[in-house]
């Protein structure tokens, strides 16, 4: 399943890279990409783990960028 999110307030390319790397390490994630220019996060993951992965991804985003809001695109 592929999910797309907007990272509102993302203003650090280095943080975007860290977020992408951490989300890619999550169990069940096939691929995760953060496009700094469009502030979009695309996660491709196993269907049965989608909710858990999204929850963990939100925690990762807040860890690196506390002011960023992750919203469905």
What's the domain count of the chain?
A: 1
User: What pLDDT does residue 72 have?
Assistant: 95
The neighbour count for residue 11, using CB atoms within 10 Å, is 12
Q: Give the pLDDT band (50/70/90) at residue 69.
A: very high
**Containing domain of residue 19, as a range?**
2-72
CB 59 within 8 A of CB 70: no
Answer for the pair 5, 34: CB distance below 8 angstroms, yes or no: no
58 phi and psi angles, rounded to 5 deg = -60, -40
Tens-digit pLDDT profile for residues 8-66: 999 999 999 999 999 999 999 999 999 999 999 999 999 999 999 999 999 999 999 99
pLDDT of residue 24: 98
CATH value at residue 18: 3.30.70.100
State pTM to two decimals. Answer: 0.95
């Amino acid at each position: 399943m592929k999910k797309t999110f907007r990272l509102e307030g993302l203003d650090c390319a280095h943080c975007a890279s860290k977020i992408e790397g951490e989300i890619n390490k999550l169990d069940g994630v096939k691929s995760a990409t953060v496009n700094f220019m469009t502030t979009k996060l695309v996660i491709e993951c196993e269907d049965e783990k989608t909710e858990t992965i999204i929850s963990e991804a939100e925690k990762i985003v807040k860890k690196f960028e506390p002011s960023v809001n992750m919203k469905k695109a």
